[in-house]
Amino acid sequence: MQKSLKNSLYLGLAVLSLGAVATVSTTANAASKAKVTSDVTLKTAAESRNVEATGTNALYSKPGTVKGAKRVASKTTMKKMANSKKSADYFRAYRVAKTNRGTVYYKVVSMDGKYRGYIYGGKDIKAFAGGIKSADTTTTASMPVKTTGYHLANANKNGLWTAPKNTQYKAKSISLYSANKTDTFTVSKAETKTREGSLYYYVTDDNDNSIAGWIYAGKGYNASATTQSLGGLSLTAEDAVATENNSVTVNYLGANGNSVGTKTFVTAVKNTKKDAKVNSDKNINNQTLADFIKDATNTPAGYKLSNSDTDVDTITNAAVYGGTVRVNVYKAATSSIDFYYGISGTTRSLDVTTLSMGKPAISKANAALLTNDGDKTVVTNGATVTDKFFTKPLYSKLLTSNGNDEASVNNSAIGNGDKYYITYTYSASKTAAYNVGVKYGSPIKAVFDANFIKDTKLPSDAVAGVNTDTTAY
């Protein structure tokens, strides 16, 4: 067949050089052609007939060895589709033909409908082979911790689909005609598109379970994140169109007084008018203007609100529709913590992997205190931000002395072969001394006093845990 195709190609080029109109497809040599003995529709479940090209065979209008077969997609094209990172380049097999030579050809169509034709499929009608192989167009993903309370972020940009786009042939969008902007959705399944790696959630409208489908979910819900990247989903409902009669502009001002971003508060209250006081009117997410400003998700990325809650309440008391309120923010900087211990008048680095419970956990509230204005120092009036983080001792793992180590030097009762552990007690004074002038965004050196204890076992609180909240700091 390859020789006949080659000859046809030469003939096509010769005709083209004479100025004749050339056809893109190549007709296989009519000599000694095979005949189709059967050509039937495949009856198995559609999803089980998703395939991908192997790149070894071209695609034809008829089984390739049959008279009149024309090339629809070259072997080179099929190889590109085999290596493609796009779901659109998968195929759905829907017919199978067999020739009098015992060869099998499958009729396939690409997921985007661009290519349709027959491709060599080996010699067994019960298994895909030759130019195609079975494909899993999606893979199961981890379910989010939060499965309820989602909203559609922008249905015009990311809507619901019967399947993640192009992972099933003729996947189509779901009508959202009867859905309201306030409707919440529940996640029941999660999948990623195998080729693109993009995440999709299967969601159902809590108010109308006939509205359900797959939607692009961005990076997916992250329980530890302060902002979410959820693609077509949101944790807040979509506001109405902002006008001067129903909205207030929130202008966020940096340390130099320049604007670093704006947000628009839109009330859900009907028939409000320009210049009318906002008072306690709420938006579609049941937030007052003050609540809206205090919501960290509305603050420009990389910034934190400088105004206190009381300041915000005062600012918003005078707000009117069609107006602007101004709030202060600072460029947020987050410090990490490096651990040290003081002994014999020197301070040394403390490897947290040597502690009985590893890196000490702190509360999420304390971890949040590590983020502040990058122009501020971590020590204020002699107190370091970490002073309340480590209120109970940390412990080393159980160790054995070699008779010439820190343990034996600092505790004469500990000799060669003796078991011991180290108690680390946070020192506020030493920590403050080592962090003078250190600003948020730079590492904080937390200093502990070390005490060597001879014993054959650790105390109970060395293995029971003091804090169990987070080590993400």
Is the domain defined by 28-129 classed in CATH 2.30.30?
Answer: yes
Per-residue pLDDT averaged across 242-256, rounded? 94
Q: Classify residue 157 as exposed, middle or buried by CB count within 10 Å of its CB (0-12, 13-18, 19+).
A: exposed
**Where is average pLDDT lowest: 1-5, 57-61, 181-185?**
1-5
In the three-class reduction of DSSP (H, G, I as helix; E, B as strand; rest coil), residue 4 is classed as helix
Domain ranges of the chain: 28-129, 136-238, 247-333, 337-464
- The answer on pLDDT for 31 being more than 80 is no
> How many beta carbons lie within 10 A of that of residue 461, not counting itself?
13
Q: 20 - beta bridge partners?
A: none
- The answer on pLDDT for 9 being more than 50 is no
- The answer on pLDDT for 204 being more than 60 is yes
- The answer on pLDDT for 344 being more than 80 is no
Q: What is the pLDDT of residue 156?
A: 83
Q: Using an 8 Å Cβ cutoff, are 218 and 248 in contact?
A: no
| Residue range 360-382, pLDDT digits in tens | 999 999 999 999 999 899 999 99
Please report how many Cα atoms fall inside a 13 Å half-sphere around the Cα of residue 247, on the Cβ side: 14
Per-residue pLDDT averaged across 60-68, rounded? 95
Instruction: Tell which residue, 211, 237, 216, has the closest CA to residue 158.
Output: 216
**Where is average pLDDT lowest: 53-62, 223-232, 249-258?**
223-232
Q: What is the pLDDT of residue 468?
A: 61
Q: What is the pLDDT of residue 5?
A: 32
Q: What is the pLDDT of residue 418?
A: 97
Token digits for 233?
């989903």
Instruction: Tell which residue, 183, 146, 139, 187, has the closest CA to residue 164.
Output: 139
- The answer on pLDDT for 126 being more than 50 is yes
Percentage of the chain exceeding pLDDT 70: 92
* Amino acid in position 179: A
**Where is average pLDDT lowest: 82-91, 337-346, 457-466?**
457-466
Task: Give the pairing of strands 247-253 and 324-334.
Answer: parallel
Q: What is the pLDDT of residue 44?
A: 95
- The answer on pLDDT for 27 being more than 70 is no
Question: 136-238: which CATH number, 3.20.20, 2.30.30, 2.60.40, 1.20.950?
Answer: 2.30.30
Q: What is the pLDDT of residue 23?
A: 32
Confidence of residue 6 (pLDDT cuts 50, 70, 90): very low
Residue of 237 and 407 predicted with greater confidence: 407
- The answer on pLDDT for 162 being more than 60 is yes
Q: What is the pLDDT of residue 469?
A: 80
- The answer on pLDDT for 272 being more than 60 is yes
Q: What is the pLDDT of residue 465?
A: 53
Instruction: Tell which residue, 473, 460, 458, 469, has the closest CA to residue 354.
Output: 458
- The answer on pLDDT for 448 being more than 60 is yes
Q: Answer whether 28-129 and 136-238 agree in fold.
A: yes
| Residue range 386-410, pLDDT digits in tens | 999 999 999 999 999 999 999 999 9
CA distance 104 to 116: 17
Sign for the pseudo-dihedral over CA of 241, 246, 252, 253:
positive
Q: What is the pLDDT of residue 286?
A: 86
Confidence (pTM): 0.54
The mean pLDDT of the chain is 90
* Beta strand ranges found along 358-408 (DSSP E): 371-373, 379-380, 383-384, 394-395, 399-400
Q: CA-CA distances (angstroms) from residue 116 to 40, 56, 57, 72, 127?
A: 16, 17, 14, 8, 20
- The answer on pLDDT for 17 being more than 60 is no
CA distance 231 to 273: 34
| Residue range 457-473, pLDDT digits in tens | 999 888 765 556 888 89
